[in-house]
Amino acid sequence: MAGDGLKWDGLLKWSLSHSDGTAPPRNLSEEDRRWFMEAMQAQTVDVIRRMKEITLVMRTPEDVLEAQGVTSEDIEDMLDELQEHVESIDMANDLHSIGGLVPLLGYLKNSNAGIRAKAAEVVTTIVQNNPRSQQLVMEASGLEPLLANFTSDPDVTVRTKALGAISSLIRNNKLGIAAFRLANGYAGLRDALSSESVRFQRKALNLIQYLLRENNSDCSVVTELGFPKLMVHLASSDDSDVREAALGGLLELAQDRTSGNSSVLTEEDKLRQVLQRRIEGISSMSSDDLGAAREERQLVDSLWSACYNEPSSLREMGLAVLPGEEAPQQPPDVAGKIFEPPLRAWAARPATEGTRSPAGGRKKESPLLLGLGPAGGTSNSQDMNPSSGGERMGP
């Protein structure tokens, strides 16, 4: 940290010297223990202080910020920094207690598309695998502006980011799923499948597949809305991730037993053609491409079996991946046992503030945070000097 002598490179070296695997673990001396705890406590206090500064800016009226020279790019940079801080679950939950969650959700309605998109990214980080923050966002009515951006924002990037935030917000969240369904969220997903944006299509397909797994009775809903036709079309996409996600959604529909009939039978002829083309494409792949297409091979074979009650020709060619068949074992993550996430984040950063980027420019500084100026229009930047925050803890 700047100004108090604490350097994160020293903390990294200290950590590695105690866990480099070259010697058995040893008990920490009282002096080492005290130094480590003081270092961590000082950095935590600094992050909270910085989050409070960011909260103050988010609560400042837009016209006041403009009068003080704060641009939309400055706000986006500030949200980038906030996103780093809230990657810690504790910090994500603390954002509400320091008054930062509500103004962050307010940025979802900002007039600038870049700010709306970045605010949705921060919300995604806050609620991901975090039931407490999911609850706080729901209680703060955060789903409503996300749904509005997802379904009707003129900027497709904003719509995509909003959908990503919704997906993280309602995942493993029964109240969130119910609210999404009541808000006609499936209609928004149908529109996303018709979009020309591959990223938007991919996120929508992944959420559809999750929702169908959670509530199989929704298969009838998506069938009535015309999803099978759209997904069959996307199963021929040039993007492999979109193809796999579409095939996965179709498999969920094909395995639907709640209505007595497969929901994809209405597209049976078209689907057969698509699957045959995919089989032909898979059969002509190189060995490396076959490995990368492992999931698609399994989906194609499973979907063919589910729809036509017979194995696909991939099995005859020895190219099918049978359900339950284990993937090739990955090499052990040796480095992961040494580099904890905060240390990994530190190691990925330049060693000094003056380090140049690959493009030749200097490392981006933290955005200047300006507080409310006194009467007369003179700004007072001392209350919110980013240098008082020092260095930040990485994710």
Asked if residue 284 and residue 164 are part of one domain, the reply reads no
Domain coverage including residue 288: 267-323
Residue 262 forms part of a structural domain = no
- Of the pLDDT bands very low, low, confident and very high (cuts 50, 70, 90), residue 47 is confident
Q: CA torsion angle for 377, 380, 386, 387 (degrees, to 10)?
A: 140
The CA distances from residue 310 to 248, 266, 304, 314, 389, in Å, are 18, 19, 7, 11, 64
Q: Please, what is the average pLDDT of the chain?
A: 80
Q: What is the pLDDT of residue 347?
A: 44
Q: Are residues 164 and 290 in the same domain?
A: no
- Give the range among 23-27, 232-236, 350-354 with minimum mean pLDDT: 350-354
Two tokens at 198? Answer: 């591959």
Distance separating the N- and C-terminal Cα atoms of the chain: 16
For the chain, the three-class secondary structure string (H helix, E strand, C coil) is: CCCCCCCHHHHHHHHHHHCCCCCCCCCCCHHHHHHHHHHHHHHHHHHHHHHHHHHHHHCCCHHHHHHCCCCHHHHHHHHHHHHHHCCCHHHHHHHHHCCCHHHHHHHHHCCCHHHHHHHHHHHHHHHCCCHHHHHHHHHCCCHHHHHHHHHHCCCHHHHHHHHHHHHHHHCCCHHHHHHHHHCCHHHHHHHHHCCCCHHHHHHHHHHHHHHHHHCCCHHHHHHHCCHHHHHHHHCCCCCHHHHHHHHHHHHHHHCCCCCCCCCCHHHHHHHHHHHHHHHHHHHCCCHHHHHHCHHHHHHHHHHHHHHHCCCCHHHHCCCCCCCCCCCCCCCCCCHHHCCCHHHHHHHCCCCCCCCECCCCCECCCCCCCCCCCCCCCCCCCHHHCHHHHCCCCCC
- CB neighbour class for 120 (10 Å; exposed up to 12, middle 13-18, buried from 19): buried
The region of weakest confidence among 206-215, 251-260, 277-286 is 251-260
Which of 236, 237, 219, 217 has its CA nearest to residue 228?
219
Say which CATH number the domain at 57 has: 1.25.10.10
Question: 344 vs 29, which has greater pLDDT?
Answer: 29
Q: Is residue 209 in a domain?
A: no
Q: Give per-residue pLDDT as tens, 306-325.
A: 888 899 999 889 888 876 66
Residues 179 and 288 in one domain: no
Domain identity same for 179 and 272? no
Q: Note whether residue 376 is domain-resident.
A: no
On whether both 149 and 278 belong to a single domain, the answer is no
| Same domain as 61, residue 162 | yes
Q: Supply the pLDDT for residue 307.
A: 87
Last residue of a domain, one of 284, 307, 323: 323
In this structure, are 169 and 48 located in the same domain?
yes
Of 183, 215, 241, which marks where a domain is finished?
183
Distance CA 383, CA 336 (A): 40
- Write down which residue in 127, 153, 183 finishes a domain: 183
What pLDDT digit, counting tens, does each position of 277-303 carry? Answer: 999 999 999 989 999 999 999 999 999
Residue 256 pLDDT more than 60? yes
Query: In this predicted structure, what is the pLDDT of residue 188?
Result: 96
Residues 310 and 178 in one domain: no
Does residue 174 form part of some domain?
Answer: yes
Q: Are 173 and 276 found together in one domain?
A: no
356 forms beta bridges with 362
Answer whether residue 149 is part of any domain. yes
Q: Are 213 and 255 in contact (CB under 8 A)?
A: no
**Would you say 228 and 267 are in contact if contact means Cβ atoms under 8 Å apart?**
yes
CA distance 119 to 106: 9
Are the C-beta atoms of residues 123 and 142 closer than 8 Å to each other?
Answer: yes
Whether 199 is in a domain gets the answer: no
pLDDT digits 0-9 by tens, 341-359: 454 444 444 444 444 444 4
The answer to the question of residue 394 being in a domain is no
Residue 34 has a pLDDT of 72
Region 365-376: mean pLDDT is 51
Total domains, the chain: 2
- Say if 29 falls within a structural domain: no
- Using 50, 70 and 90 to split pLDDT, how confident is the model at 1? very low
Whether 25 has a pLDDT exceeding 90, the answer reads no
Minimum mean pLDDT range among 11-25, 59-73, 78-92, 311-325: 11-25
Of the ranges 190-194, 260-264, 361-365, which is most confident?
A: 190-194
The token pair that represents 223 in the structure block: 């069938």
